[in-house]
Structure 1
Amino acid sequence: MKKLLACALVAALSATTVQAQQATPSGQLQPIDGIVAIVDEDVILRSELDRAMQNILAQYAGREAQLPPRDVLERQVLERLVLLKLQVARAEASGIRTSNQEVDAAIANIAAQNNISLDLLRAQLVRDGTSYEEFRSSIRDELLTQKLRQSYAQSRVSVSDGEIDAALEAQAAGGVQYHLAHILVALPEGATPEQIAVAQRKIEGVKGLLDRGEMDFAAAAVRYSDSPNALEGGDLGWRSSDEIPSAFIQLVSNMAPGEVSDPLRGPSGFQLLQVVESRNASEDSSAQTVTQYKARHILIRVDEDTSDAQAKARIDTLAARLAGGADFAELAGEESEDLNSKVRGGDLGWFNADQFGYEFGAQVTGLADGETSAPFRSSTGWHIIERTGSRQTDVNAQNRRNQVADTIGRRKLEEEWNRYLRELRSEAYVDLRVGPQATDGPTGS
């Protein structure tokens, strides 16, 4: 059915494209825009791909030699756009929304980070050939994908206090952080022996290029890596030991800055790891207090199986039961769809006001200890909150716990999320109309 809908859509759009023509000075008709990919019931236009290519080329100004041939680069950028379309569609189908206020705040933050006014930002966009509405749309899509990832993490990833305590103890004992980069040659689920052999030859060929000094690591990642961060030179950023898979930590700890590992086989395929640099983990011991809150909540998700109206009806029923004297913790344990907190009677522990988003923070700060909110909507679904406490706390100490929890969670999420994206891509109807069909890579002969 998806394929039929996509074919019908492209037929209609192709007809529209033919009609949307302009006359050249010679009197010939020339298409204004074209379709470079069909993604389920959506399309990617040539103008979208060209804008994304311009952004990449601007990032590599003066370093164009590090980029692969244009047709290979176009295919990489187009794959990114395909994944973005699929994530936005999945987020919207799951009931995730982004308000105009959130988009405005994100744009204001971008302007502030660049030390320019909003008017100057608009002017720069015009000079770069991008309309302000196109820019707003791209920011909205980025926020939606972030929320989709957050929602996925909430349902799939949990970090225990014991894991956090152990990581903090390791840091206190003088932990080391590593700035890592990688090159991935991906393998599909259930790869055949032939596919494995081809991937192994490719990764060995890339390692050979690096060993002979024919290409630096970042340039090789841009050209050959299948990882989503390929166009960032494979940069993985700074990782503490608790963020690095246990299978790799011993290897990484024995590598010198700039050193590249031999090919490694992992769940996603073959990898090369580079330790860019390392440093001792440092902590800021100065105290800074903030107000934190403790609360329980009940969540009814809005997703592909539950409409907004259905979720609202359910949460209203639960609110009525609470008003009739039902125990909040028992009801949360029975009915809440937040899998992480329902086993604790909906208890979220201590958190900062903005930790779970603007809507959640506005509700909890407006309650008194012991008070219960009316049902309210967030990007995830419908909630009821019972605020159970508030306190002043050393934000730096709590930030360290939050950072450690975040890094452990990121480590757990990374492989799961990449697998989810591969499944999303494989299940979609995608017709790419630019770029090479064959793999661009050296062999290890």
Structure 2
Amino acid sequence: MKKLLACVLAGALMTVSVQAQQVQPIDGIAVVVDEDVILQSELDRAVANIRAQYAQSSQQLPPENVLERQVAERLVLLKLQVARARDTGVRVSDQEVDQTVAAIAAQNGATVEQLSGQLASQGTSLSEFRDSIRDELLVQRLRQRFAQTQVSVTEAEVDAALESQQAAGGQYRLAHILVGVPEAATPEQIQTAQSKIEGVKSLIDRGEMDFAAAAARYSDSPNALDGGDLGWRSAGEIPSAFAQLVRNMQPGEISDPIRGPSGFQLLQVVDVRDPAEATEGGMVTQYQASHILIRVDDTTSADEAKARADTLHARLQGGAEFAALAAEHSQDPSSSARGGDLGWFTRDQFGPDFGGQVAALSDGEVSAPFRTQAGWHIVRRTGTRQSDAGTDNLRAQARESIGQRKLEDEWDRFLREMRGEAFVDFRGEGEQPGAATETPADND
């Protein structure tokens, strides 16, 4: 829950600045995004928020036009994701927004009324903050739905990842700096990109800038303002072209420039750990179950999905075979081919709502239809066992890591396609945000 609230709050602050009172709102359109717009005041508040985050190290930020480009692109993607979420039937109720706002206030040691006063003193209304929270929840649910429909992890992939971890002996937390090269780049464009990445490496080597600051200032990657952080990866989850290089690097070490499919990169090994360090021993309860899922989406309303689930439940009560109905009707592609079989899992592996329903059943019992964010489920619990947490946590960690890597790859591709298909018109005066650039030589 804390991680979820942190993600929601961080996203909301992209459009609701903690220093909004220092920005003079401008009545004008900064960017047109399909049928929506980003106001200049929105962009200014988002830029001000980034500057507030870097208040103690403002010299690490790129020049104003480059920073504005990065922030504008983030806002464009946010608008596109919110629109896609709404178009595909994703909804967030007022009650859910109220609960999230209350939780954020509580985490900051305040009541909602006190939070409202703090926002007002900073030039932001509670209504604007609520709208930002709603947008971030919509995007999170869109991403969750995307993961459920587009990403699956097989047991064979988990086995292979664990074997790779044992052979490699560790997991790596990585960061990168990317200098992009366009498709069909000219020799001059390639040389310019190579010169830039070499200049960035030189700045870091001379101690003039640390890696995270250089990523924020010079990287073309979407995670530039996050210091280029790529998270934890096992050796099997690192592209083969880089895997041997990473295995030979020490924590804190930075690679020489590497040419990849997207351009030139610098890789940093931030830290290394033994996978066992992230697990805890002891025994845990595991459940074996099968399910039938009817999704709620742009073609199926919540009421329609429930009606279909109720019909299937009635057929089960009448003696229909669970596996046959799951194979024919379940909309979970990762389990329907196996008659809905989910294998063995811990209570929270598929989320607390789903796990709570499974835990309440007896072995052999079939649930009534129930709702989660994925849609309407019917579950049949088939077994229970006690298992060693260390081994299970290793497998769960490997499964989550593989799923996250797949999700990142597919989600990035999805965002690029959505951005490429969108009509985006920058209306700002002077150089458009999309055209801004910087090289290390600009600051020498």
Task: Verify same fold: TM over 0.5.
Answer: yes
Name the residue aligned to 1:400. Answer: 394
List per-residue Cα deviations over 1:310-359 (Å, max 9, x = no partner): 43443343333323322111111122111101111111223333433354
Listed as ranges, the matches of 1:132-281 within 5 Å are: 132-169=126-163, 171=165, 175-186=169-180, 191-194=183-186, 198=189, 201-212=192-203, 213=206, 215-281=209-275
List per-residue Cα deviations over 1:194-249 (Å, max 9, x = no partner): 3x752552243132232253544323322232222111121223333233222211
SS of the aligned residue for 1:206 comes to helix
Q: How big is the shift at 1:368?
A: 3.0
Name the residue aligned to 2:308. Answer: 314
Gaps of 5+ in 1: 1-29
Question: Which deviates more, 53-62 or 299-308?
Answer: 299-308
Name the residue aligned to 2:439. Answer: 442
Question: Which deviates more, 99-108 or 365-374?
Answer: 99-108
List per-residue Cα deviations over 1:292-327 (Å, max 9, x = no partner): 433211122232344445434433433333233221
List per-residue Cα deviations over 1:79-125 (Å, max 9, x = no partner): 11111121122222222334556545555654565566666555543
SS of the aligned residue for 1:303 comes to coil
Q: 1:193 to 1:58 in 2, by over 3 A?
A: closer
**Of 367, 379, 382, the match for 2:376:** 382
Decide whether the 8 Å contact of 1:94 with 1:302 is kept in 2.
no
SS of the aligned residue for 2:344 comes to strand
CA RMSD of aligned residues (A): 3.1
Decide whether the 8 Å contact of 2:180 with 2:193 is kept in 1.
no
Tell me how far apart the structure 1 counterparts of residues 27 and 100 of structure 2 sit (CA, whole Å). Answer: 30
The one-letter code of the counterpart of 2:196 is G
Decide whether the 8 Å contact of 1:300 with 1:382 is kept in 2.
yes
1:323 aligns with 2:317: yes
- TM value normalised by structure 1: 0.81
Decide whether the 8 Å contact of 2:283 with 2:387 is kept in 1.
yes
Tell me how far apart the structure 1 counterparts of residues 67 and 344 of structure 2 sit (CA, whole Å). Answer: 46
The one-letter code of the counterpart of 2:254 is V
Q: Percent identity?
A: 62
Q: 1:201 to 1:86 in 2, by over 3 A?
A: same
- TM value normalised by structure 2: 0.81
Decide whether the 8 Å contact of 1:187 with 1:268 is kept in 2.
yes
Tell me how far apart the structure 2 counterparts of residues 239 and 113 of structure 1 sit (CA, whole Å). Answer: 30
Question: Which deviates more, 411-420 or 115-124?
Answer: 115-124
List per-residue Cα deviations over 1:241-269 (Å, max 9, x = no partner): 23322221101122344443333343444
Decide whether the 8 Å contact of 1:242 with 1:407 is kept in 2.
no
Q: How big is the shift at 1:425?
A: 0.7
**Of 273, 297, 303, the match for 1:303:** 297
**Of 25, 29, 40, the match for 2:34:** 40
Decide whether the 8 Å contact of 1:94 with 1:303 is kept in 2.
yes
Q: 1:102 to 1:403 in 2, by over 3 A?
A: farther
SS of the aligned residue for 1:62 comes to helix
Name the residue aligned to 1:18. Answer: none
SS of the aligned residue for 2:277 comes to coil
List per-residue Cα deviations over 1:37-73 (Å, max 9, x = no partner): 2222222223322332222111101211111121221
Q: How big is the shift at 1:418?
A: 0.9
Decide whether the 8 Å contact of 2:151 with 2:406 is kept in 1.
yes
Gaps of 5+ in 2: 1-23
**Of 33, 43, 50, the match for 1:56:** 50
SS of the aligned residue for 1:431 comes to strand
Decide whether the 8 Å contact of 2:289 with 2:382 is kept in 1.
yes
The alignment covers a number of residue pairs equal to 412
